A and B are shown apart, each in its own frame.
Chain A
């Protein structure tokens, strides 16, 4: 019997080695270890042995059965792994193929720049206001200390409507409208389209975007203006940015300044972008002219204020190195998709 047992085990082992799939393995298991299996039958026949042989033979038979069960498990693992390998190799992909063409639309660069600038001033406590694009001459000029026949009106070629109103030449009327409805102190910005009778070329556009700011309080000075604009320029163009204030003239501010930043390309050493000057003009600013305060009923002895304004196209052009303002309004998707 012992011999028979050994023989069966050897036979089962060699069969296991050559088994190719789960099905074969299962039928082997049934034929050896199943209820009617050959090993099972053998173990059952131990009972028929003489009593003195039974314990020894029983133990031997059970040990062999255990060993065989272990072998079956191993074989099963082997077969699973092989199947897994076959499956993954079937599913292998060419990882060098391009990914799917997912896309997301792009914000217009003007909007993106506007949003960025608005965020900076929002963080400084400036409330966003808005106003109409068609304005009366009063809001666009007179209230801003530009009476009729003032030479400063020539600085802005105005587009007139048949009803005598104008397409606003700047967003400054919003400052007037805001002051009219608000008691000082106040901090506001406004942003939007403005229009001039300019033929479009690389640096002019009959329509463009402006962002302006105004702060009125009891003691607001040119130094405060400088501080606010320094924070702004460094947030927008980087911490290393230097600012330069140049005296200038605007009818609605006095003193007035034009503000330059150190060139975004050469940092001031001189390059073609800044025409070798090292500086780029980015905005106009100044202390609110007392005449403007009078127009809105603020007492210029009690209140002082600063105002500033910038062209968003100019800022976007400097930020991205865009050399032609018309690109913003061509809306060529190849342009829009770059931002």
Chain B
């Protein structure tokens, strides 16, 4: 809501400057987002009265005007169509600066034009360039225009919270200022509304459903002359963010800003039967609204109709057909209250949010319609002439009875944390216009004014109390509560442990969007029935790249990779722990956590002494194995697998403890091409579930062995086709008790072994926990071990 500081001052005395007022309002809950200083874009312009007009004989349409500006008289050549003797307008004196440039006296033929009479547009005060600006007759000629009230102003832009419909108006904001500063709310000028003949049978109002339209008031104004509004009205509308239209419409909008109550003016002649009916739209009805668009009305849309068709979408926007135009003579003026939920639904269904609907959907003041109606009628008569018919149509089912709310000072103190006395409650709430009814000191009963539909419960009053007393009065202290230090859940501990391992290995953590671009499924080359394609769809996505819920973290990681490669930032070694949303067939998306890793270069950066180490499948596998070990998943079992995303022969499925953990491998050339990446990339995607399940208590301690170890190396020569896993399994099966650990330290193919063979070289550590091993024992055990391997694998040793 844009609020003019000058306008506010018509309703309440304000001693604070605009900035200080903004601060005060902000601290009371009406957050002022910014204060816009409205300063004139001109200088050297004065108020001037046109004293004489003398048409230029040589230039048709141009006149020489003599204008009085205080103690000076000036001549000005002017072509404005609205020149009239006695008109008060603005004259730019020689040396004046206008937005369009500097003004100098000009010799025009025989005579000198000393001043320029200005339009609103030339002064930068509006977009009207149809004639010279018409200033209110109350101003004194000669007065600098910049000093005229309303020319310099400040506009406070208030972010009004949805619970405060009353603050969507100048008067409502003024009322809050009055309550905050202890001033009285001033009433605007008394309404003077000369009434003409009775409204009689000429206009009628029928409300079909009072639950949707609790009150509908109307007046008829006859004989208006539609034209532009005077400058001050247009100026205030503009500062309030509303475009001036004509004097009748402007009058309703002026009151919309001033009172926060939306009004609507119909061209009475356009209403069939001269009457309006408030009813639900019928199947198939449509309306062309004043913005020129034709709108099909969903059934149940609340409309204002004449005898034949809808003429307005109730509380949202009027119809083009009955809008006020140049030819309008008689105006039917509406001031009604509509059901907020109905307005909100209509606005949503039609995709419309207007100044009117924004107010009605927050709840209108049920008592204001007759008052707003009279104010508007008086303003229309003032601006457009005509006479209001005697009599007001006021359709309502029941009178408004102010709700009463009880507040217990003790409960207020309990919530706010400081003692609250009954007196404080009474004094504070009465400033807001809440009347203390009867009731004892422990339970104070207040009647709620009609403009505060948000105050329905005790807590609402407690908030008002705190708001007016100031939140800074609330002390700060720590709560008294039982000491506790709850343990961290696995959902925090496990990803933290994963991070600790992976960060230590040089991988960076990333967080990517939970959305999925359908195109990335194609980039991955997934077959149509691939489960990763069964993604949940967002019905109202921000854009089509974000219309699905991700089923995998892989596209996100590949995009991070390609983004960094495009910026020549490499290598990219990253991981993400995050939720994906997979679907079983047609079931709704189910949420689960994944951990995915991407490696595109050595974990340790090359430097001047070390050449770039090779990155391959085993770099990734080593990381995964270390991770599995540190996170207590048990040994990870890798078995060959084929997957469209990965290069054939370089992909493995991973199991831990018999449970599927995920997949790892080298990303296929086709996928890399789709992401325009030319480096080898290794990816793993793991289920987070097994990690979370493996989290447990403290690790048990195992006594350190005291006796020396004995080392033996052995090189097994086996058929090329034999996978390492078979050898490893045999080693485990025949593992002697004294064998503490072993590692594969070389894989050899070449002249030292025969064609079609390869050699696995192991380093073994024998150790006894009970004594020092002697050579003979180790030799015996080692020999038996080798014999067992020979008989199982048919291998030889070299």
Measured CB to CB, the residues of A under 8 A from B are 97-98, 100-108, 110-111, 115, 118, 122-123, 125-130, 132-134, 149-152, 154-155, 159-163, 165, 167, 185, 187, 193, 195, 197-200, 206-207, 215, 217, 219-224, 226-228, 230-231, 243-249, 254-258, 275, 287, 289-290, 304, 328-334, 336-337
Contacts and interface: CB of A to CB of B under 8 A. Distances in A.
Contacts of B39: none
Contacts of B503: 104-107
Contacts of B477: 223-224, 226-227
B345 A149 contact: yes
B472 A244 contact: yes
Contact of B513 (A106, A128, A256, A329): A329
A333 B29 CA distance: 41
Contacts of A230: 476
Contacts of B589: 134, 161, 163
A125 B485 contact: yes
A199 B513 CA distance: 13
A97 B496 CA distance: 36
Interface in B188-246: none
A244 B513 CA distance: 33
Nearest to B487: A127
B502 A249 contact: no
B36 interface: no
A118 B492 CA distance: 10
A107 B588 contact: no
A195 B491 contact: no
A334 B415 CA distance: 48
B511 A329 contact: yes
A222 B474 contact: yes
B542 A198 contact: yes
A231 B161 contact: no
A57 to B, nearest CB: 58
B479 A224 contact: yes
Contacts of A200: 542
Q: Secondary structure of the B side of the interface?
A: loop
The 10 residue pairs across chains A and B that have the minimum distance between CB atoms:
A223-B417, A221-B417, A247-B29, A249-B161, A127-B486, A255-B463, A226-B476, A224-B479, A101-B607, A245-B471
Contacts of A226: 417, 474-477
Interface stretch (B138-146, B395-403, B425-433, B573-581): B573-581
A223 B538 contact: no
Given A105-B508, A133-B591, A206-B546, A152 B162 contact: yes
Contact of B467 (A105, A165, A255): A255
Contact of B471 (A152, A195, A247): A247
A98 B560 contact: no
Nearest to B503: A105
B514 A193 contact: yes
Given A118-B492, A224-B479, A245-B472, A336 B508 contact: yes
Contacts of A122: 485-486, 488
A165 B608 CA distance: 56
Contact of B563 (A154, A155, A195, A332): A332
A248 B463 CA distance: 10
A227 B505 contact: no
A224 B581 CA distance: 39
Contacts of B499: 107, 111
B564 A222 contact: no
B475 to A, nearest CB: 5
A275 B712 CA distance: 73
Contacts of B539: 160-162
7 contacts: A111-B509, A160-B538, A160-B539, A167-B514, A247-B28, A247-B29, A289-B459
B633 interface: no
Q: Which of B163, B479, B589 has the most CB of A within 10 A?
A: B479
A115 B569 CA distance: 27
Contact of A228 (B27, B478, B512, B543): B478
B417 A224 contact: yes
Contacts of B163: 152, 249
Contact of B608 (A98, A127, A193, A256): A98
B538 A167 contact: yes
Contact of A165 (B414, B457, B513, B588): B588
Contacts of A115: 496
Contacts of A246: 26-27, 29, 31, 471
Contact of B344 (A149, A160, A220): A149
A248 B161 contact: yes
B481 interface: yes
A222 B416 contact: yes
B161 A217 contact: no
A290 B458 CA distance: 10
Contacts of A104: 503-504, 506
A254 B481 contact: no
B604 A108 contact: no
A193 B478 contact: no
Interface in B449-482: 457, 459-460, 462-463, 466-467, 471-472, 474-482
B9 to A, nearest CB: 24
Nearest to B161: A249
Interface in B506-525: 506-515
B476 A130 contact: no
Contacts of B541: 159, 197
Interface in B578-614: 579, 581, 588-589, 591, 603-610
Contacts of A220: 479
B752 interface: no
A161 B588 CA distance: 9
Contact of B31 (A165, A248, A304): A248
A223 B414 contact: no
B180 to A, nearest CB: 11
Given A223-B476, A227-B479, 19 more contacts: A101-B606, A108-B508, A118-B492, A125-B486, A128-B486, A133-B581, A134-B581, A187-B484, A226-B474, A228-B479, A246-B471, A247-B466, A247-B467, A258-B31, A287-B415, A332-B563, A332-B567, A333-B564, A336-B509
